[in-house]
Structure 1
Amino acid sequence: MIQPLVYKFGGASVKDADSIENVAKVLNTNWKQGLIVVVSAMGDTTDLLEEIINKAFVREPFSTELEKVESLHQEACQQLFPGNHSIFNRLKNDFSKLKRTLENQKFIEEGEAFFYDQIIGFGELISTRILQEYLCLQGNYCLWQDARELIATDSNHKIGRVDWVLTMQQCRKLLVSQLERYPVITQGFMGSDWLNHTVTLGREGSDFTAAILAVSLGAKSVTIWKDVSGILNGDPDLFPDAVKFEYLDFEEAAEMTYFGAKVIHPKTVKPLAKHKIPLYVKSFVEPSSTGTVIGSFQDDPRIPITVIKKNQVLLTFRIRDLSRIGGFHFEEIFKAAKQQNWTINLIQASAVTLRAVLDVMDKPRLVLPKSLQEVFVVEQQANLSLVTVKNYTQDQESKYGAKENGIRLSQKSPTTLQYLMEKIPL
């Protein structure tokens, strides 16, 4: 059995014809037997499709927006392929199918999350077809594989949970023999449930897809190709002097993603760490640069890491019935958080009060379940920012912990500082 390599390319790397040509050059240089290439949707396609889905779900016209998405792909193909290439008929068929799916009343009746999942993956399905056909045109022959036949999930739409056992079985059945002949191009972000309905893994889930395939097939490594030189210790747009890590321990990387660093998807690191599969983050702009490798390094550099998450909301829960103090009532909050798909980034509790910091979802003010309001008096404060500093210094503690920043919540451990604040000092 071939031990594969898994590459992942995000939407920025295939945003137009020039970008697709660049990806083809990167792959040509690294063309190997046993290569699996996971690809996201082109550029802003997913955002555009979300706009279309929102309109279609409430039966508003969406033809103008759909034509914009189709034109984006048509223009790229016109630059990449001769006019008589079969990709143009395939593209026409794909967009006809997309339109029919958007107009499928049965899908709408199944609810917004189900409807979303049946449509949003068209971006990945189309982008991978374009890349696969272009690679073959250039003489790098490869196979296209529908990721929904590989990754098995439950029916929890928008945030599907992976059935690892069935996924491993399907990956080995469908990919092992193929990889002995040709590289395989497939999609990120999605799988399917037992009814063969599409289920997505969460926004930006293509990194996670790469990890799933790597674990399922015992890959040598995973490489995520991005428009940055590697993993930095801060957002370069906010910190011009940010430093690149040459190597990083799995645990350090996992904490970075948990705290909000956007270089890799939070779910990606855990399965790779468990199976000791190294993860490389490299630049498709400068593919010869070393990038960053994430693996098992006991001596990884303890460089200060600063992560800033904006658009945070602070929920303060105060127990109504003081006879219930002691903490056991907090289980109701966690139950509601699971049901509402809240992402809790920081939590503090006392006998009568619990404070939770959450990502703002679709609306600036969260709608709280009635069950919580019956037990707690709940206050909300929005438009806050959560600053996390790992491996902090005294200077950073003084800078971010200053009173003028409007600190609403703080937490400190020997290695990590967190401040929820109104104003970020930069």
Structure 2
Amino acid sequence: MQPVTERIPAENARWPALAALAAAAVLGGVSGIWLGSGAALDLPVLLAVGAGLLAGGALLAWGMGHLRAERGRAAAALSHKAELLAHSRAAEQALQLREQFYHTILEDIPEMICRWYPDGRISYVNEAYCRYFQVSREELMQQGGFPLFHHGAGRFDAALYRAQPVVVMEFPVQQADGTQRWQRWMDRALFDDDGTIREFQSIGEDITDRKRAEQETAHLLEENRRLTRMALAIQEEERANLARELHDELGQSLTAIRAEAECVLQINRDRSPTISECAGAINTVAGQVYGVVRDMMHRLRPALLDDLGLVEALNELLRQWRSHRPDVVLEALLEPLPPLPHSVELVAYRIAQEALNNIAKHAEANRVELVLRPLDGMLELRVRDDGRGITADADGHGYGLIGMRERALAVGGEFHVTTGPGMGTTIRTTLPLSHREVKDGD
């Protein structure tokens, strides 16, 4: 059993005084009023006790009014607490739903995710991580040590710092069966307020198929480049052979025909005007054919390149080009050059020749500029036109550009094209002043 005065709530600080005053005035104390220890003393019971003590008394009326006010304040406080509790429960449920949402995403994505501490202890792995390494989450949590993809803590400590918290790495991984696979990991460091690394987050994927495709593509590209260079070398050799045949066979035959026609012309000048006229015609036609053959030989194998060097050979090329395209303004700046390897001179000549041929056939240009000069220890060749530019479907440009690029790369140079519809085309190549043989795979 417990006295009423001992069970009055602490927040109703005035009630003990009221109870003591009532007891002194009527019964000499309220210690005789008892409630069971398990009963709750509420306001109706208390008011009933007060009514029995001071029926109709002024003190009881004052006490009841005071109790009503206390009851209203208590109800408001309880209502506010209930409202706060409801909001708290709603927020907690929303947080749980959000956590479930993100957890589902992390577990369902195909990328591997691992969270771990600097000492190597794993704090979280997703299902994809376990599936890839064929180990359960419980085993990973219990075994300790660094994650299975890890190659040593130093790689992270040296690479991750606050100014650059993310590092992406690709590396091969030896499998248990001896096979090699490739992985790509994006590692992020998570820091405390004082800048200390608190935890690492690593997101990885298997990129073996991509790496194999890249290697195969690189192999095919190198093979294609090797074949292209071989074709260009064979082409250059065949050009030289054809130029030699034209000079030795057709050139000499045409020279003999012209000599015979001149002889007939001299012998029959007074005897037979008709024969002389025919001989003169033969001589003229033979001379025209010889001129065509000479131009062909020059295009196939420019003799001036062997005899006088690149600048003189290009001057002759420009002279011929102007004669065929007098409607186009061709400006050239050919600076004096140091002695060059024949391979470099030939590459520069062929690139200039191909560029001018493309302009004549496709560009519809009004102005062309050609610059040849030594620049920063290299030989620079630049050909620019104001034509219609090179489009993706331009016939004939593809192989020509590939040939120019491969020629430049074959001697250790570089080749760049700047073009676009309506903006003209600029071809720029830089070649070493000394030849560097480029082997397959360079």
* Fold-level similarity (TM above 0.5): no
Q: TM-score, normalised by structure 2?
A: 0.18
Whichever structure has more helix as a proportion of its residues is: 2
Q: Which has the larger radius of gyration?
A: 2
Q: TM-score, normalised by structure 1?
A: 0.19
| Higher relative contact order, chain-length normalized (CA < 8 Å, sep 6+) | 1
